[in-house]
Structure 1
Amino acid sequence: MPTQLEKAMDTLIKIFHCYSSKEGDMFKLNKGELKLLLQSELTDFLSCQKDPQLVDKIMKDLDANKDNEVDFNEFVVMVAALTVACNDYFEEQMKKKGK
């Protein structure tokens, strides 16, 4: 039976490939696939953002090798960064409650 962390890792992989397999290279997200993933899977995050160029900026930041696509490694960097930011926010809120 898989552990919680193993299930989480499996979920990340499945979500990435669910969107990357829609067009073109099935192992990379193009801009449209990335936008769809962000809109479908990170709705709360995007709803707080007002920048109409947000997807373009995220794509540019993630695309480390500048091939205009996001591979799984580049995708995981985004998920890790967002997870760290959420944890930082959670810790800050807990500190405020403790005071």
Structure 2
Amino acid sequence: MSANLKGAMVDLIDVFHKYSGKEGDKYTLTKLELKNLLKNELGEFLEGPNDACVVEKIMRELDDNKDGVVDFQEFVGLVAALTVACNEFFKMALKHAESICYT
């Protein structure tokens, strides 16, 4: 994993293209490609990546232009939302740990 922003951007692009294009357009994710990406790359952050209903819901929410696939820009929205959620979780955990130390 990269320790700098430029490296993180390259990693994000690499992960997307690792899964895209196996079934259709090499620049988009089909539902099956998205499912595999979610399961293999984000399984510990998302509940039920093997559940077809969960994948269907995520697909609908990500597919802004309703073309039935997820492009890179739509995918980045998911990564950004998860990153924000993780940051909030760590901020709360840190505040909780600090409050325990000072009581």
Q: Does the TM-score normalized on the shorter chain lie above 0.5? A: yes
Structure 1, residues 11-60: CA drift from partner, whole Å, max 9, x if none?
A: 000110111121111100000000000011012123xx258311111000
Query: How far apart, CA to CA, are the structure 2 residues paired with 1:68 and 1:50?
Result: 21
Question: Any idea what SS the aligned residue of 1:45 has?
Answer: coil
After superposition, the Cα gap between the structure-2 partners of 1:94 and 1:61, relative to the gap in structure 1 and judged at 3 Å, is: same
Partner residue, 1:39? 39
- Letter of the 2:63 partner, please give it: D
Correspondence for 1:81: 81
Alpha-carbon separation, structure 1, partners of 2:89 and 2:28: 30
Q: TM-score, normalised by structure 1?
A: 0.90
Q: Relative contact order (alpha carbons < 8 A, sep ≥ 6): 1 or 2 greater?
A: 1
Structure 1: where are the runs of 5+ without partners? none
Larger Rg: 2
Residue 3 to residue 84, structure 1, CA distance change in 2 (3 Å): closer
CA RMSD of aligned residues (A): 1.7
- Identify unmatched segments of 5+ residues in structure 2: none
Deviations 1:58-92 (A, max 9, x none): 00000000001000000000000000000000000
